[in-house]
């Protein structure tokens, strides 16, 4: 018998959003490199949303490379989670990174049995693809990146900040790479 546990918490509404266009993979890499430079990333939780082929794993590979992860970076589609060790470029400190892919995730009890709650409670960067498959089991995301394929295989990326840490990350990103559009919602604290 499967036991369904209540949600850890609901992700709060976005306090700020911004959008970018990635014309090609070089633009994806540039964005990942900019994000990797931000000290607030060290203990952040990022969710990546988008259809198959939207570029989620490609973005993660560029981000992990920018964070000093060596060797082949494979998608955790079958393993659900891949641990990595990196080094944050701004602080030169070692960085634990957990890359989750919940695409094949079927049972919320798996979350408990696999110890994912403990991983999310530990320090380090957590990145989840297909977070909707584990809805109700995940903590609030600092940033949610929604990727959609536009004309000529370009990507439209909407970034939402849901926490104070996410807001700091998003504001810093806006300063490095000006967005196409940005908004600060009325329920924001800044």
| pLDDT value at residue 116 | 82
In a domain, 101, yes or no: yes
Residues 56-71 have pLDDT tens digits of 999 999 999 999 998 8
Domain around 177: 16-184
Q: Across residues 12-28, what is the average pLDDT? A: 90
In a domain, 1, yes or no: no
In a domain, 149, yes or no: yes
In a domain, 144, yes or no: yes
Residue 78: is its pLDDT beyond 70? no
Q: What CA–CA distance (Å, rounded) separates 154 from 115?
A: 37
In a domain, 7, yes or no: no
In a domain, 11, yes or no: no
Looking up residue 59, the CATH number of its domain turns out to be 3.40.50.300
The total number of structural domains that make up the chain: 1
Which element (helix H / strand E) includes 137? none
Question: What 3-state DSSP class applies to 102?
Answer: coil
């Amino acid at each position: 018998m499967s036991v369904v546990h209540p949600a850890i918490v609901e992700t709060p509404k976005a306090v700020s959003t911004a959008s970018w266009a990635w014309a090609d993979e070089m633009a994806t890499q540039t964005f990942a490199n900019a994000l990797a430079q931000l000290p607030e990333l060290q203990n952040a939780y990022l969710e990546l949303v988008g259809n198959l082929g939207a570029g989620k794993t490609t973005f993660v590979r560029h981000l992990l490379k920018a964070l000093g992860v060596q060797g082949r970076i494979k998608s955790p589609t079958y393993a659900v989670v891949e641990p990595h060790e990196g080094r944050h470029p701004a602080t030169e400190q070692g960085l634990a990174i957990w890359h989750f892919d919940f695409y094949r995730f079927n049972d919320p009890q798996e979350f408990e049995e696999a110890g994912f709650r403990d991983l999310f409670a530990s320090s380090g960067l957590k990145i989840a693809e297909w977070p909707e498959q584990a809805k109700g089991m995940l903590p609030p995301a600092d940033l949610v990146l929604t990727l959609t394929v536009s004309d000529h295989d370009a990507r439209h990326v909407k970034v939402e900040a849901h926490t104070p840490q996410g807001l700091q990350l998003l504001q810093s990103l806006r300063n490095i790479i000006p967005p196409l559009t940005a908004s600060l919602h009325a329920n924001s604290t800044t």
